[in-house]
Amino acid sequence: MSSAYLYSILATATIFTLLALALNIITGYAGQAMMGIAAFFGIGAYTAAIITTNGGNFLLALLAGMLVSGIFGAVLGVISLRLQADFLAITTIGINFVMVALFNRLKITGGTLGLTIKKPVLFGVKMNNTYFFYMTVILIVVLCLLLGKMRRSWFGMALASINNDPGAARSFGINVSRYQILAFTIGTAVAGLAGGVYAHRMGFISSSDFAFVVSIQAVSMVVIGGLGTLRGPIFGALLITSLPEILRFADDYRELVYGLLLVLMVRFMPEGLIGDDSPVWSALMKLWRKFVPKKKTRADLIAESVEGGR
Amino acid sequence: MKKVLALVLTLMMALSLVACGGNGSTGGDAGTAAPSSPSTTTTAPSGGDTSGNSAAPALPETIKIGFFAPVSAAAASADGASAINSAKLAVKLVNENGGINGSKVELVDFDDGLDTTQAANIAEKLAYDDSIAAVVSGSYSGPTKVAAPIFQDAGKLMVSAYAVHPDVTGAGDLIFSQSFPGAVQATGAAVFTAEQLKATKVAIIYVDLDFGTTQVNAFKAKLAKDYPDVHVVFEQGVAISDSDLTSVVTAAAASGADLIYSVNYYEQAAEVLRQVGLQGLNIPVLGTEGADSWMLLDIAGEYANGLYITTNMNRDDQNEQTQAYIKNYREEYGIQPDMVGASVYDAFQVLFEAIKNAGTDSAAMRDYISGMKNFDTVTGTLLYYNAEGSAVKPIQVQLVTNGEYHYAGIVDDAQIIDPANY
Amino acid sequence: MFLQQLINALTIGSLYALTAMGATLIYGILGILDIANAGAYLVGAYLGWYIYYGTGSIVLAFLLSMLAVGLLGILLQRAVYSPILAKPHTLSIIPLVAAVGLFTMSSDAVRLICGPNSKAYNLKFPVETLRVGNVVILPAWLMIFALTAVLLVILWFILNKTKLGLAWRATAGDAEIARVCGVNTDTAMALSYILGYGFAAAAGIMTGILYNSITPALGEVPSYKMLAIIVLGGLGNPMGTVVAGLIIGIAEVFLSVYTAIPIPKDAIAFVVLIIMLLVKPDGIMSRKNKV
pLDDT of residue A171: 77
- Number of folded domains in chain A? 1
**Owning domain of residue A62:** 3-276
Instruction: For residue B199, give the nearest of B270, B255, B245 by alpha carbon.
Output: B255
Please report whether residue A192 resides in a domain.
Answer: yes
- The whole-angstrom separation of Cα B419 and Cα B183 is 7
Whether C236 is covered by a domain: the verdict is no
Does residue C106 sit within a domain? yes
Which of residues 176 through 215 in chain C touch A, CB cutoff 8 A? none
What is the reported pLDDT for C256?
86
CA distance B250 to chain C (A): 7
What mean pLDDT is predicted for residues A263-269? 92
- C4, C107, C265: residue with CB nearest B239: C265
Q: A50-77: per-residue pLDDT in tens?
A: 999 999 999 999 999 999 999 999 999 9
Residue B153 lies in domain:
59-180+318-389
| Assigned domain for B361 exists | yes
Same domain, B279 and B414: yes
Percent of chain B scoring above 70 in pLDDT: 87
Q: Is residue A89 part of a domain?
A: yes
Interface test with A, best of C94, C111, C252, C255 (most A CBs within 10 A): C94
Q: With an 8 Å Cβ cutoff, are B242 and C131 in contact?
A: no
Q: From CA B298, how far away is CA B296, in angstroms rounded? A: 5
**Domain for residue C105, yes or no?**
yes
- Provide the chain B residues 77-136 that lie in CB contact (below 8 A) with chain C: 77-78, 80-81
Pick from C104, C112, C277: CB nearest A83? C277
- The boundaries of the domain holding residue C187 are 15-224
Contact residues of C toward B, CB < 8 A? 1, 4-5, 8-9, 11-12, 107-108, 111, 115-118, 120, 122, 129, 131, 136, 138, 207, 211-213, 215-217, 220-221, 253, 256-257, 264-266
Query: What integer pLDDT is reported at residue A83 of this predicted model?
Result: 82
Q: Do the domain assignments include residue C70?
A: yes
Interface size between A and C, measured as CB pairs under 8 A: 131
Mean pLDDT of chain A: 89
Sign of CA dihedral A231, A234, A237, A240: negative
Among B49-53, B130-134, C33-37, which stretch is predicted with the lowest mean pLDDT?
B49-53
The chain A residue lying nearest C270, using CA atoms, is A94
Interface test with chain C among A24, A81, A86, A252, by most C beta carbons within 10 Å:
A86
Same domain flag for B154 and B273: no
Element (H, E) at B137: strand B132-137
Is pLDDT above 90 for C90?
A: no
When mean pLDDT is compared across A228-232, B25-29, B308-312, C233-237, the lowest value belongs to B25-29
The answer, for A35 touching chain C at a CB cutoff of 8 Å, is: yes
How many structural domains are present in chain B?
A: 2
Q: Does A22 touch chain C (CB under 8 A)?
A: no
Q: C179 versus B72: which is more confidently predicted?
A: B72
User: How many folded domains does chain C comprise?
Assistant: 1
**Residue predicted with more confidence, C289 or C156:** C156
What's the confidence (pLDDT) of residue B52?
43
Q: Is residue B111 domain-shared with residue B236, that is, in the same domain? A: no
CB nearest to A85's CB, from C92, C108, C271? C92
Which among C28, C22, C21, C24 has a CA at the least distance from the CA of C175? C28
Interface size between B and C, measured as CB pairs under 8 A = 99
Q: What is the pLDDT of residues A138-154, one digit of tens each?
A: 999 999 999 988 888 87
Mean pLDDT value of segment B338-354 = 95
How many Å apart are CA C82 and CA B2, to the nearest integer? 36
Q: Which subunits sit against B, judged by 3+ Cβ pairs under 8 A?
A: A, C
Average pLDDT value for chain B: 87
Q: Quote the CA–CA distance of A36 and B75 in Å, as a whole number.
A: 21
Q: Which residue has the higher pLDDT, A305 or B138?
A: B138
Indicate whether B332 and B376 sit together in one domain. Answer: yes
> Which residues of chain C make contact with B78, given a CB cutoff of 8 A?
116-118, 215
Give percent of chain A above pLDDT 90: 63
Longest dimension (CA), chain B: 78
Residue A222 included in any domain: yes
Question: Dihedrals φ, ψ of B388, to 5°?
Answer: -85, -10
Q: How confident is the model at residue A174 (pLDDT cuts 50, 70, 90)?
A: confident
Residue A298 lies inside a defined structural domain of this protein: no
Q: Are residues B259 and B285 in the same domain?
A: yes
Residue B167 sits at the chain A interface (C-beta within 8 Å):
yes
CB < 8 Å to B246, chain C:
8, 11-12
B18/A10 touch (CB, cutoff 8 Å), yes or no: yes
- The residue-averaged pLDDT of C64-88 equals 92
Instruction: pLDDT band for C286, please (50, 70, 90 cuts).
Output: low
Residue B5 has pLDDT above 70, yes or no: no
| CA–CA distance, A3 with A129 (Å, rounded to integer) | 10
**Residues B98-112, mean pLDDT to the nearest whole number:** 95
For A209-278, the DSSP string reads: GGSHHHHHHHHHHHHHH-TT-SHHHHHHHHHHHHHHHHGGGGGGGHHHHHHHHHHHHHHH-TT-TTSTT-
pLDDT at C291 over 90: no
The verdict on residue A285 lying in a domain is no
**How far is Cα C22 from Cα A130, in angstroms, rounded to an integer?**
48
Q: How many residues does chain C have?
A: 291
Over residues C175-188, the mean pLDDT reads 83
Task: List the one residue out of A131, A135, A129 whose CA is nearest residue A8.
Answer: A129
Query: Cβ of B212 and A113 within 8 Å?
Result: no
Asked if B28 is an interface residue toward chain A (Cβ–Cβ < 8 A), one would say yes
CB < 8 Å to B241, chain C: 220-221, 266
Tell which of B115, B246, B264, B302 to mutate to test the C interface (max C CBs under 10 Å).
B246
Q: Residue A294: which pLDDT band, with cuts at 50, 70 and 90?
A: low
Residue A127: pLDDT above 50? Answer: yes
Mean pLDDT of A108-134: 91
- Averaged pLDDT of chain C: 89
**Is residue B187 domain-shared with residue B305, that is, in the same domain?**
yes
**What is the ipTM for the molecules in this complex?**
0.90
* B110 found inside a domain: yes
Contacts of C136 in chain B (CB under 8 A): 278-280
In angstroms, how far is CA B292 from the centroid of its own chain? 13
Span of B9-13, B174-178, B209-213, C93-97 with lowest mean pLDDT: B9-13
**Of all residues in chain B, what percent carry a pLDDT higher than 90?**
75
Q: Is residue A295 situated within a structural domain? A: no
Closest-CA residue in chain C for B209? C264
Q: Given CB atoms, is B70 within the 8 Å cutoff of chain A?
A: no
In a domain, C158, yes or no: yes
Question: Which band of pLDDT confidence, cut at 50, 70 and 90, is reported for residue A295?
Answer: low
Residue A221's CATH number: 1.10.3470
Does residue C147 surpass a pLDDT of 80? yes
Please give, rounded to a whole number of angstroms, the shortest distance from the CA of B126 to a CA of chain C: 26
Establish if C276 belongs to a structural domain.
Answer: no
Q: Is residue C190 part of a domain?
A: yes
Which of C87, C101, C274 comes nearest A270 by C-beta?
C87
- pLDDT for residue C283: 65
pLDDT at B18: 39
**Is residue C284 situated within a structural domain?**
no
In a domain, A211, yes or no: yes
Q: Please, are residues B151 and B157 in contact by the beta-carbon 8 Å criterion?
A: yes
Q: What is the pLDDT of residues B40-97, one digit of tens each?
A: 333 333 333 444 445 678 889 999 999 999 999 988 999 999 999 999 999 999 999 9
- The reported pLDDT for the residue numbered B37 is 38
Q: Please determine, for residue C116, whether its predicted confidence score (pLDDT) is greater than 60.
A: yes
Q: How far is A97 from chain C (nearest CA, A)?
A: 5
- Give me the residues paired with residue B67 across strands: B109, B136
How far B121 CA lies from chain A's nearest CA (Å)? 5
SS (H, E, C) chain B: CHHHHHHHHHHHHHHHHHHHHHHHCCCCCCCCCCCCCHHHHCCCCCCCCCCCCCCCCCCCCEEEEEEEECCCCHHHHHHHHHHHHHHHHHHHHHHHCCCECCEEEEEEEEECCCCHHHHHHHHHHHHCCCCEEEEEECCCHHHHHHHHHHHHHHCCCEEECCCCCCCHHHHCCCEEECCCCHHHHHHHHHHHHHHCCCCCEEEEEEECCHHHHHHHHHHHHHHHHHCCCCEEEEEEEECCCCCCCHHHHHHHHHCCCCEEEEECCHHHHHHHHHHHHHCCCCCCEEECHHHCCHHHHHHHHHHHCCCEEEECCCCCCCCHHHHHHHHHHHHHHCCCCCHHHHHHHHHHHHHHHHHHHHCCCHHHHHHHHHCCEEEEECCEEEEEECCCCEEECCEEEEEEECCEEEEEEEECCHHHHCHHHC
Cβ distance B28 to A244 less than 8 Å, yes or no, reads no
